[in-house]
């Protein structure tokens, strides 16, 4: 992007307008879709600038970076959302500092988070990250394990399971990308039929959010289109 309008405020307004347009194109109410700004790799001062625009929640993919930024910005009432792979030995940071973890993908991590949350006297909103693409590099629970996993999470009351999260396959084929998002929605619907209400679907990023919105995303995680390339 270039030109006089290339400011954080202008990019944020542009992203909101494009999300709203994607909602209308899909016959959906724009009020149903939240944008999670993803501030990973950008410094605390950039987040401060975004906070001055009224942004409150920020997505980070590393526990260490979340810790550093939340300390640098402790004077602001921000909410930190962990969206990246979380090592079990970093569960303490997440339990202390995150308002939400969207990358819950295994029982070992759920147990570790729960133990730490009990120690902190906190509860945490979580989304279960499901692997909907074949790429080895992507994390996530295998779809076939979701029902059993949700049953187990029911035994961990400090984790409030609010929905599902996924990353679509990286592909030039919109059909392949969209199939990942559709699978997440269908998993959500199947879970609901079994009594697990999961209202939130976090899916879609800068390059593919219109497809995610068409498949029912309630939240899109946007980094590059707001903050610039990394
Ligand atoms: C980086 C990241 C995003 C945002 O990606 P952009 O393409 O920059 O919008 C979304 N979700 C996750 C899990 C990420 O790690």
pLDDT tens-digit readout, 130-147: 999 988 888 999 999 999
Q: Which atom of ligand 1 is nearest to the CA of 38?
A: 4
Nearest-CA residue for ligand 1 atom 12 is: 83
Instruction: Work out the number of other CB atoms within 10 angstroms of the CB of residue 185.
Output: 17
In the 8-state DSSP scheme, what is residue 102? Answer: E
Residue 178 inside a domain? The answer is yes
Separation of CA 93 and ligand 1 centre (Å) = 21
Q: What is the pLDDT of residues 164-197, one digit of tens each?
A: 999 999 999 999 999 999 999 999 999 999 999 9
186 and 145 in contact (C-beta within 8 Å)? Answer: no
Taking the CA of residue 224 as reference, the ligand 1 atom at the shortest distance is 8
Ligand 1 near 41 CB (within 6 A): no
Please indicate whether residue 207, judged by its CB atom, sits closer than 6 Å to ligand 1.
yes
Residue 4's pLDDT band, with cuts at 50, 70 and 90, is low
Could you tell which of 38, 59, 65, 230 is best to mutate to test the pocket of ligand 1, judged by most ligand atoms within 8 Å of the CB?
38
Give the number of the atom of ligand 1 that is nearest the alpha carbon of residue 230.
8
Query: Counting atoms of ligand 1 from 1, which one is nearest the CA of 102?
Result: 13
Evaluate whether residue 135 is within a structural domain. Answer: yes
Containing structural domain, residue 139: 3-225
Position 103 in a domain: yes
Residue 9, domain member (yes or no): yes
Residue nearest to atom 6 of ligand 1 (CA): 223
| CA of 83 relative to ligand 1 center, distance in Å | 8
Q: How many domains does the chain have?
A: 1
- Does any ligand 1 atom lie closer than 6 A to the CB of residue 203? no
CATH number at residue 162: 3.20.20.10
Q: Which is more confidently placed, 135 or 123?
A: 123
**Per the domain annotation, does 196 fall within a domain?**
yes
CA neighbor of 124 nearest in space, from 87, 158, 165, 89: 158
214 forms beta bridges with none
| pLDDT for residue 138 | 84
Which pLDDT band holds residue 25 (cuts at 50, 70, 90)? very high
pLDDT at 123: 97
Q: Is residue 80 part of a domain?
A: yes
pTM of the model: 0.96
Site to substitute for ligand 1 among 19, 80, 83, most atoms within 8 A of C-beta: 83
CA of 224 to the centre of ligand 1 (A): 8
46-75 residue pLDDT tens? 999 999 999 999 999 999 999 999 999 999
**Cα 93 from Cα 109, distance rounded (Å):** 13
Judge whether 94 lies within some domain: yes
CA dihedral 188, 194, 199, 201 (to 10 degrees): -20
The secondary element (H helix, E strand) that includes residue 200 is strand 200-202
CB 178 within 8 A of CB 194: no
230 in a domain, yes or no?
no
Ligand 1 contact via 167 beta carbon (within 6 Å) = yes
Average pLDDT of 116-127? 97
The pLDDT of residue 137 is: 84
- For residue 80, report the phi and psi dihedrals to the nearest 5 degrees: -105, 130
């Amino acid at each position: 992007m270039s030109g006089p309008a290339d400011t954080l405020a202008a990019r944020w307004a542009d992203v909101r307008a494009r999300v709203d347009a994607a909602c209308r194109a899909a016959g959906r109410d724009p009020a149903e879709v939240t944008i999670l700004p993803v501030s990973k790799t950008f410094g605390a001062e950039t987040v401060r600038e975004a906070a001055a625009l009224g942004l409150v929640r920020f997505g980070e993919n590393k526990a260490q970076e979340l810790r550093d930024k939340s300390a640098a910005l402790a004077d602001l009432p921000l909410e930190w959302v962990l969206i990246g792979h979380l090592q079990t030995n970093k569960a303490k940071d997440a339990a202390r500092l995150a308002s939400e973890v969207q990358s819950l993908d295994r029982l070992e991590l759920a147990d570790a988070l729960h133990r730490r949350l009990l120690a902190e006297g906190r509860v945490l909103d979580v989304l279960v990250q499901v692997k909907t693409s074949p790429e080895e590099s992507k994390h996530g629970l295998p779809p076939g394990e979701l029902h059993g996993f949700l049953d187990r999470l029911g035994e961990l009351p400090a984790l409030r399971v609010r929905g599902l999260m996924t990353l679509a396959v990286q592909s030039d084929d919109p059909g392949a990308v969209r199939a990942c998002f559709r699978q997440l929605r269908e998993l959500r619907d199947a879970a609901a039929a079994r009594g697990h209400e999961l209202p939130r679907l976090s899916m879609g990023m800068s390059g593919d959010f219109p497809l995610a919105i068409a498949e029912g995303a309630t939240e899109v995680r946007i980094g590059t289109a707001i903050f610039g390339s990394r």
